[in-house]
């Protein structure tokens, strides 16, 4: 892969780091199976968009990628949740668990509000470092909503992993190989 | 891995993404990014698979045994050895063929009813 000049190189590395962190929205099993390759593919896409379309191309790529990530992460989370429900089996157990689920839902909603603001503020800072990409108030609010949603459906442990590891959720795992170049 | 003994026709209709991936792999082994590029090239940029859609579909196809990881690489010297290449299996080929057959039947019906893009719409004919 040809080296990119500043600020494109910075935008590229920033995008890769953010995408690596956002992969935490997928279930752990899915990330283990495909996370490294997805990051690799996204890196190639970013490189291509930056070379051909500059910052505008990268912004369009981000919009497409976020929509794709939201839709597929939700689908994978739903599939996982339905799989668990099938394992539980009897509906009576589900009814008994309803009260507990409602209480847990309330706690999650509160956590959702608090955590989404914290994480979105961090992401907002990252985005502003992406080669000068600035977000307006509406875009910021949208970002906060999307990040909050990801948190709500995401794996909280994975989020804590990815925010403590600079290169995303897969860093440091023995079964991971480094992201390849184009 | 599950579902290898199932009849591929049970999974019809296929999602557009799954069919696109099977078509991309019909002639050669490809890695994920190459699949994405091939789909985009063949559809003239009309269909763009995101990484999530691509690997969600790849995961399903691996699980069904319709594709598998290729043992050998097209040219190891020209490529990154960490990339995984995917290969269409016989089962995957049968599934793609079944889906294409289903679509052909649909197109035949559409043509019979005057819904072919080549035919002029009836309302336009009446107005002309």
The whole-angstrom distance between B63's CA and the closest CA on chain A is 12
User: Which pLDDT does position A167 carry in this prediction?
Assistant: 41
* Residue B84, domain extent: 8-114
Sheet-wide strand order for B30-31: B30-31, B85-88, B67-69
Domain count within chain B: 1
- Residue A173 in any domain: the answer is no
Under 8 Å CB pairs connecting chains A and B tally to 60
> pLDDT category, B119, cuts 50, 70, 90?
low
Task: Please check whether residue A170 is in contact with residue A20, taking contact to mean a CB–CB distance below 8 angstroms.
Answer: yes
**Helix/strand/coil (H/E/C) assignment for every residue in B68-92:** EECCCCCCHHHCCCCCCEEEECHHH
* Rounded distance between C-alpha atoms, residue A32 and residue A39, angstroms: 12
* Rounded distance between C-alpha atoms, residue B4 and residue B60, angstroms: 12
- Calculate mean pLDDT across residues A4-19: 81
The whole-angstrom distance between A57's CA and the closest CA on chain B is 14
Structure tokens at B5: 């003994």
CB contact under 8 A, B51 and A68: yes
Respond yes or no on whether the N-terminal peptide bond of residue A168 is cis (omega within 30° of 0): no
Task: Please check whether residue B92 is in contact with residue B98, taking contact to mean a CB–CB distance below 8 angstroms.
Answer: no
Max mean pLDDT among A30-44, A72-86, B109-123 falls in A30-44
Res B104 pLDDT > 80: yes
The whole-angstrom distance between B52's CA and the closest CA on chain A is 6
- Calculate mean pLDDT across residues A4-9: 64
Terminal alpha carbon distance of chain B: 59
> pLDDT category, A170, cuts 50, 70, 90?
very low
**Degrees (nearest 5) of the Cα angle B108, B113, B116?**
65
pLDDT by residue (tens digit) across B31-77? 999 999 999 999 999 999 999 999 999 999 999 999 999 987 766 66
CB contact under 8 A, B82 and A75: no
User: Which pLDDT does position A72 carry in this prediction?
Assistant: 97
The nearest alpha carbon in chain A to B62 belongs to A33
Of A92-101, A108-117, B104-113, minimum mean pLDDT range: A92-101
- Residue B90 in any domain: the answer is yes
Residues 39-58 of A with CB under 8 A from B: 40-42, 44-45
Interface predicted TM-score of the whole assembly (ipTM), two decimals? 0.84
> pLDDT category, A6, cuts 50, 70, 90?
low
CB contact under 8 A, B33 and A40: yes
- Calculate mean pLDDT across residues B65-93: 85
- Residue A98 in any domain: the answer is yes
Domain count within chain A: 1
User: Which pLDDT does position B4 carry in this prediction?
Assistant: 66
Task: Please check whether residue A42 is in contact with residue A16, taking contact to mean a CB–CB distance below 8 angstroms.
Answer: yes
Res A160 pLDDT > 50: no
CATH number at residue B52: 1.10.10.10
User: Which pLDDT does position A53 carry in this prediction?
Assistant: 80
The nearest alpha carbon in chain B to A22 belongs to B52
User: Which pLDDT does position A171 carry in this prediction?
Assistant: 40
pLDDT by residue (tens digit) across A129-141? 555 455 565 665 6
* Residue A134, domain extent: 8-164
CB contact under 8 A, A44 and B55: no
- Residue B29 in any domain: the answer is yes
CB contact under 8 A, A69 and B56: no
Residues 36-95 of B with CB under 8 A from A: 36, 48, 50-56, 58-59, 80, 82-84
DSSP letters along chain A, please?
Answer: -PPPPTTHHHHHHHHHHHHHHHGGGS-HHHHHHHHHHHHHHHHHHHHHHHHHHHHHHHHHHHHHHHHHHHHHHHHHHHHHHHHHHHHH--HHHHHHHHHHHHHHHHHHHHHHHHHHHHHHHHHHHHHHTTTT----HHHHHHHHHHHHHHHHHS-HHHHHHHHHSTT-TTTT-TT--PPPP-
């Amino acid at each position: 892969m040809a080296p990119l000049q500043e600020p494109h190189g910075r935008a590229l590395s920033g995008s890769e780091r953010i995408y690596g962190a956002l992969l935490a929205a997928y279930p752990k099993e899915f990330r283990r199976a495909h996370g490294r390759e997805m990051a690799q593919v996204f890196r190639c896409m970013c490189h291509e968009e930056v070379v051909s379309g500059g910052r505008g191309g990268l912004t369009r790529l981000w919009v497409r990628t976020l929509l794709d990530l939201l839709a597929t992460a939700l689908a994978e989370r739903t599939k996982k949740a339905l799989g668990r429900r099938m394992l539980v089996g009897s509906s009576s157990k589900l009814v008994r668990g309803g009260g507990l689920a409602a209480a847990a839902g309330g706690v999650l909603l509160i956590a959702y509000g608090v955590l989404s603001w914290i994480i979105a503020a961090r992401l907002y800072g990252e985005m502003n470092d992406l080669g000068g990409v600035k977000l307006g108030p509406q875009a910021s609010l949208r970002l906060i909503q999307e990040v909050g949603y990801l948190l709500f459906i995401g794996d909280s442990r994975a989020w804590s992993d990815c925010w403590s590891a600079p290169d995303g959720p897969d860093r440091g795992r023995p079964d991971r190989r480094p992201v390849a170049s184009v | 891995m599950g579902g290898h003994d199932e009849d591929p026709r049970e999974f019809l209709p296929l999602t557009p993404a799954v069919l696109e991936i099977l078509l991309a792999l019909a002639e050669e082994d490809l890695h994920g990014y190459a699949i994405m590029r091939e789909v985009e090239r063949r559809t003239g940029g009309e269909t763009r698979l995101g990484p999530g859609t691509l690997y969600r579909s790849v995961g399903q196809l691996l699980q069904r045994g319709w594709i598998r990881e290729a043992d050998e690489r097209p040219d190891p010297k020209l490529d990154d050895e960490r990339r995984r290449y995917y290969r269409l299996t016989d089962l995957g080929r049968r599934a793609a063929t079944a889906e294409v057959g289903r679509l052909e039947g649909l197109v035949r019906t559409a043509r019979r009813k005057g819904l072919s893009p080549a035919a002029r719409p009836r309302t336009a004919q009446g107005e002309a």
